[in-house]
Amino acid sequence: MSTSHSIVEDRIKQLRDELNRHNHNYYVLNAPEISDREFDMMMKELESLELQYPEWDDPLSPTHRVGSDISKGFGQAAHIYPMLSLGNTYSIEEVDDFMRRIRTALGSDDFEIVGEMKFDGTSISLIYEHGRLIRAVTRGDGERGDIVTDNVRTIRSIPLQLQGSGWPDHFEIRGEILLPWKAFDKLNAERAYNEEPLFANPRNAASGTLKMQNSAEVARRGLDAYFYYMLSEDLPADTHYANMMEARKWGFKVSSATTLLHNIDDVDKYIQYWDTARKELPVATDGLVFKVNSLWQQLNLGYTSKSPRWAIAYKFQAERALTRLQHVSFEVGRMGIITPVANLEPVLLSGTIVKRASLHNEDIVRTLDIHEHDMLYVEKGGEIIPKITGVESADREPGAKPVQFVTHCPVCGTELRRIEGEAAWFCPNKYGCPPQIVGRIEHFVGRRMMNIDGIGEETAQMLYDAGMVTGIADIYDLTRERLLSLDRFGERSAERILQGIEDSKNVTFERVIYALSIPYVGETVAKKLARAVGDIDTLMNMPVSDLIEIEDIGPRIAESIHEYFAVSANIHNIERLRDAGVQMSMPVEATVEKTDLLSGKTIVISGTFTKHSRDEYKELIERNGGKNSGSISKKTDYVLAGDNMGPAKLEKAKSLGIPIIDESQFLAMINMD
């Protein structure tokens, strides 16, 4: 190796070590040492060097934390040690009984208990070899789980390469994948805006996110992880607490709530403290866990068929309040869905004042049997969204009538419709119902759509009320003079909007599709469509049968797209957007040189390469009609192997008789040799 190459390799390693350390400081310790700009500059330097020297690419490099938008299925793996559930208790007395059982079973008071937070997320098992993350597996059925390594690598609080020293050559660490409250609020706000079903709690959101096929979307959502148990034939210590303190030194996020407890009084005080203090934590919890500290004592206590005898979970009680219903309002969303909302007498719950709670749909209103001015039970246990869980019918006012779902749109008066098999009623007056029109305008200008700065909810309503913007294409007819004619509108606000409109003409075609508010076409589907069709004319004229052939486009989405382009007003809007300069096709480089040379072929990439990077090979596979997969199965047609191919993948490929090809053979297959 030349001296210059050695210097570059050393610099790449230095940058990776530094970026991993700063990631740990920021996401685990919450103590950043450098500015965001300094971090970004280091990341850009590393990205540049890895592109220039692909032979030193590493799947665990900090540059790969963003994930990939290539869809893939999940393989499965057996757990080395079964992932059992814990027995649950709901009172301090039951926890005290657990302590007494431990004392009786051990025949001694000489034992310690470790108190831990019971995080409300989704369980994960990570396998590390020689200090590097090699596999992540969900709990599954306790015996086997889904391999979600690519998605887990995007979680910035999880170390890909361990810090310090002293870890076993091979070990498993278990923890909980979580979506912090702030990220949960942001995600649900986006879903509410897009009229998608809201996640009831961060646990459901974390579980759904971890199993997404698009790891780039997983990275965007901002998952976190806490760890609570380590397994190995060569653990650093013979107590659970000491092992977790070592894990913290290696870079794992171990909760500061993890505490050594010595007797029943300590345990009771721990429960009493965290029953209140947990409400200040940045992530959802639903209880506490108590474990015998000594690993030898754990071994002696053993297991039942379902759970360890040396650990128990204490579940917090859900917070519930009783308050009076003032009235039910019916709100119209961008897609015309009618949502009933319970307007309540204000009540304090989990530290916040609750005044409103969604009743979601007519079926829920009927199931709860809600009457006018009923006393309703509201809960926010593991749920951050207020939830109506019941009615105190004994307090019902004499002669109170059941709440009736509206039959006509509360804004435009159009008779509502209901799709067979679905719970929601909707207003079919898509192009004449004011809240639907304003909602589509708000969506169009949003940050992840056309990103027109200066037009928010209030301004969109003002522009509509003034008759200036009654459809999305009208935005491009706005002028400085027209904007200044609006009440309380100044030069700076007008200039900001006009600049945003001009900048929006450079927004990519896939975001334009998303901005159009085609029913059932979210951000991910819009990307799939844009890459598959290339331009708006092809999409507008594509029959349902062809649309269904596009990956992830099912019959319902295909029919919705076809219906959207059958409306002359939509076609007219698109032509006006095109005339205004909005992007209506993918860049040439994104659509050229597509072939079907790999049509129907599923390829797994493993190892490091010299002629192209892994991401470039993934792009080449897709461009030539093939499909990428992250795991080897009977459905795999080829394994594209570079240097340092994982031994497990090599063995599995050989056992299944799957051809293993190198770079030269692959490039020859697509006529690039």
Cα dihedral: 316, 285, 84, 77 (round 10): 160
Tokens describing residue 217? 């979307």
| β-strands 122-129, 132-138 pairing | antiparallel
Cα(271)–Cα(116) distance, integer angstroms: 10
What single string gives the DSSP state of each residue in 503-516? HGGGS-HHHHHHHT
CA distances in angstroms from 287 to 116, 207, 279, 317, 349, listed in the order given? 9, 18, 11, 9, 18
Cα dihedral: 569, 571, 577, 578 (round 10): -160
Contact yes or no for 339/323 (Cβ under 8 A): no
| Residue type at 366 in one-letter notation | R
User: How many CB atoms sit inside 10 A of residue 215's CB?
Assistant: 25
Work out the end-to-end distance of the chain between its first and last CA atoms, rounded to an integer number of angstroms: 26
- Sign for the CA dihedral angle at 512, 518, 519, 524 comes to negative
Radius of gyration of the chain (CA): 28
Contact yes or no for 462/482 (Cβ under 8 A): no
The answer to whether residue 118 is catalytic is yes
Tokens describing residue 178? 């979580």
List of residues 6+ apart from 78 with CB closer than 8 A: 143, 144
What single string gives the DSSP state of each residue in 139-189? -TTSSEEEB-HHHHTT-TTS-SB--SS---SEEEEEEEEE--HHHHHHHHH
Dmax (CA) for the chain in angstroms is 91
| DSSP 8-state secondary structure symbol assigned to residue 74 | -
User: How many CB atoms sit inside 10 A of residue 76's CB?
Assistant: 14
Cα(605)–Cα(240) distance, integer angstroms: 38
CA distances in angstroms from 387 to 197, 206, 279, listed in the order given? 14, 19, 18
What single string gives the DSSP state of each residue in 539-564? HHT--HHHHTTSTT--HHHHHHHHHH
Catalytic residue among 118, 253, 291, 527: 118
| β-strands 602-606, 627-629 pairing | parallel
Cα(142)–Cα(307) distance, integer angstroms: 11
Contact yes or no for 378/387 (Cβ under 8 A): yes
List of residues 6+ apart from 461 with CB closer than 8 A: 438
CA distances in angstroms from 78 to 118, 143, 171, 209, listed in the order given? 25, 6, 15, 22
Tokens describing residue 417? 């419709």
Task: Give the sheet arrangement for strand 224-231, strand by strand.
Answer: 132-138, 122-129, 170-178, 224-231
3-state secondary structure of 653: helix
| β-strands 660-661, 638-641 pairing | parallel
Q: At how many degrees (to 10) do helices 36-52 and 3-27 cross?
A: 140
Cα(75)–Cα(564) distance, integer angstroms: 37
Helices (H), 156-201: 181-193
| DSSP 8-state secondary structure symbol assigned to residue 466 | T
Q: Residues with catalytic annotation? A: 118
